[in-house]
Amino acid sequence: MDWAPRQIKPSIEIVDLRKDRMDFILLNSDVSTANAIRRIILSEIPSLAIEIVTVLENTSVLHDEYISHRLGLLPIDSTMASEFEFRDKCQCTDKCARCTVDYTLDVSCNDSDSRVVTHFDIVPDENQSQSIYGKNLPMPIPRADATNFNGGTDGIPIVKLKRGHAINMKLTATKGLGKFHAKWIVGNVNYKMEPRFSFNSSIMEQLTSEDKSGIAASCPRGVFKYTGVRSDMDSGLGSSDKSFKLNVGGLQVVNKLNCIYCDECINYCRELGHKDLIRIQPDESKFHFTIESTGSIPPEKILDIALLCLEKKLQDLHSNFAEAQSRALGTASTSQHKEGGRAPHPSSAYIDLD
């Protein structure tokens, strides 16, 4: 079986890039590719998170389990998480510097009425072996030596201690994936297809200014704007490429990405007796993505890792399919002699994947 490649070339256009957020557009693609990227970002990007908490002392008001859960959700610098081994696949007997990172959290409140314990109080364990990071041990994000560090106010709160309270815990971080537990998810990702707006200009000419203003007001997301000024771009069912500037009889589409396909504008047009006045359809080749990182990995690196992971999955699928196909053809060739030279129907080919 020959598979004809699709004659499209997907591309990415970066719209906005910040420290913990990235907006980009996936062009010339389809829903399957967009959803694959989304699912990989949520479940297949490796990261580090605190997995084991050994409680030596805890006289705070929070239970051991509650504090352990909060510690597990702390983002840890995972820009080099690929250099670590999964603990269950490491060749060591228990743990080593290639599969774990050890920390200590030892805080007491003796000199003040209260003290907030933050992620800045977590320090590397002095007994652990040299990490593969060398001196740049992966620490909870943001690091205490960050340029925007503002005393203890920027730290992620873990627990509040009163006078005489103390906590002493040993922490072990391991490598994992988001599909194993939410603490290994590197960020949130979502996408939406760009909406296509088209207007019937012949029907639009029959509407009064009040009707057009009512259409604009019917949208709860402020997609439309009625200016009362006609434009030379009035042209029946318009193209989505011009929807930002589309002006039919003074009715403009000014915020098309705000559309949530609620059909309030269409319902209003139906009340006016013109059900075919506006058409809104999603463009299934253009996807607006937003990646919000937890801080463990920069958003642009998250996208880079996701694309590499998707490429590897496709390569594995191609090789496995080719192997299964060759086995099927070999079996079909043997069956042909048994049936007196008559070739079997392709649907009867037996694929042995064992």
100 falls within a domain: yes
Domain boundary among 158, 185, 212: 185
Is residue 98 scored above 70 in pLDDT? yes
- Please give the pLDDT value at position 331: 59
What is the sign, positive or negative, of the torsion defined by CA atoms of 196, 202, 205, 211? negative
Q: Tell me the whole-structure pTM to 2 decimals.
A: 0.79
Question: pLDDT category, 65, cuts 50, 70, 90?
Answer: very high
Q: Is 84 exposed, middle or buried (0-12, 13-18, 19+ CB in 10 A)?
A: buried
Q: Is residue 311 part of a domain?
A: no
On the 0-12 / 13-18 / 19+ scale of CB atoms within 10 A, 238 is: buried
Task: Pick the more confident residue, 354 or 303.
Answer: 303
pLDDT band at residue 206, thresholds of 50, 70 and 90?
A: confident
Residues 126 and 168 in one domain: yes
Bridge partners (DSSP) of residue 116 are 160
How many structural domains compose the chain?
2
Asked which of 228, 255, 285 is the last residue of a domain, the reply is 285
Looking at residue 235, which CATH number applies to its domain? 3.30.70.20
* Residue entry with tokens 């930002």: 244
Domain that holds residue 266: 195-285
Cα separation, 50 vs 60, whole angstroms: 20
In a domain, 157, yes or no: yes
- Are 177 and 200 in a shared domain? no
Domain presence at residue 125 = yes
Domain boundary among 243, 263, 285: 285
For the chain, what percent of residues have pLDDT higher than 90? 62
Q: Which residues pair with 55 in a beta bridge?
A: 169
Average pLDDT over residues 276-303: 94
Give the domain CATH number at 157. 2.170.120.12
Over the stretch 156-193, which tens digit does the pLDDT of each residue have?
A: 999 999 999 999 999 999 999 999 999 999 999 999 99
